[in-house]
Amino acid sequence: MKLATKLVGTLGSGALLLASAITPAGAATITNTYPETPLTNPTLPVVHVAHGSDTLKANILNPRPVCNAWEDKRTAIYKVTDSFLPVGTISTTNQTASPIPLTQTLSKTQTISIKVNGSQTETTSVNGGGSGTQGGGTGTAGIAYSLAKTIGGEASYSLSWQVGQTVGPYQVPAGYTGEATYGFRTITMTGTQQYCKLDGTWSTPAAYVAFVPIKNEVRVKLYNNPADSAK
C-alpha cells in the first residue's frame, strides 16, 4: 500500500512538471502582415536587389548574413497589368461616296507621369524603398523605370499629347463611321519591397505599386452598324 501511494505521488509530480514545461508563462504573440502573392506565373516574379557593396560584410549579429544592413534593398514584382488609358476620341461618319480622312488637331494638353506607391515623381535615382514602405525610404522612380524596361521593353518617366499635335489622318470608307481614341499605354506593377535589417536579414515585405507610362497610343475602329460601336 505504501509503495502504491509513493508511485502515484511520483507520477503526479511528473505530470505537473510536464504541464509546466509545455505552457509558456505570458508568451507574447508576434504577428507579421504583408501582401499575399498570387499564383506562380512562369515569367514572374521579377526580382531586383540593389546592393550597396560588392560583397557581404561581416555582421556581429549574424554570422551568415544574406544582405548588408541598411544598404541593400529588394524589390519583387508578382503581377503586371498592361492597360490603355484613353484621354480623348475623335470620330466622323462618312456619308459621301468616297473615302475621307479622320483627323484632328488637339486643343488641349494631356500628360501622365510615373508613380510609385501613389506618389508622382520623375526623379531617376535608385528607389529607396518607396513611400510608405518600411525603413523610412523615399519614393523615387529609378527601380520602377528599370523594371518596366525589363518587363515592357519601353518605359518613360512622363508622356503627353500636346496642343497642336495632330491625330490621324485615318481613311474612313464610304458609309462607315470612324473613331480614333488617343491615350497612353501603361503598365502597373504590383509587388513588395524589403530593406536589409541590422542583423543582415530581409525585413517583412511591404506593399509596392508602380504605375509606368510606356507610349502614346491611338486605337482606331470602323463600323457601319451603330450596334458595333461598342465593340
Read off the pLDDT of residues 67-92 as tens digits, 9 standing for 90 and up: 998 889 999 999 999 999 999 999 99
The answer to whether the Cα torsion of 133, 137, 140, 142 is positive or negative is negative
pLDDT at 121: 65
Tally of domains in the chain = 1
- Tell which wins on pLDDT, 39 or 182: 182
Residues 6+ apart with CB under 8 A from 100: 92, 94, 171, 172
With respect to residue 22, please indicate whether it lies within any of the assigned structural domains.
no
Instruction: Evaluate whether residue 135 is within a structural domain.
Output: yes
Give the per-residue pLDDT at 181.
96
pLDDT at 180: 97
Strands, E assignment, 29-72:
46-50
> pLDDT digit string (tens) for 1-51?
444 444 444 444 444 444 444 445 555 666 666 555 555 667 888 888 888
pLDDT band with cut points at 50, 70 and 90 for residue 118: confident
Section 179-188 average pLDDT: 96
31 in a domain, yes or no? no
Peptide bond before residue 35 is cis, with ω within 30 degrees of 0: no
pLDDT for residue 90: 95
Assess if residue 94 is contained within a domain.
yes
Question: Is 19 inside any structural domain?
Answer: no
Cis peptide before 45 (omega within 30 of 0): yes
> How large is the C-alpha radius of gyration of the chain?
30
Domain assignment of residue 100, yes or no: yes
DSSP state of 137: P
Supply the range of the domain harboring residue 150: 38-230
Residue 12 lies in a domain: no
Residue for grid cell 500628360: 111
Whether 5 maps to a domain, the answer reads: no
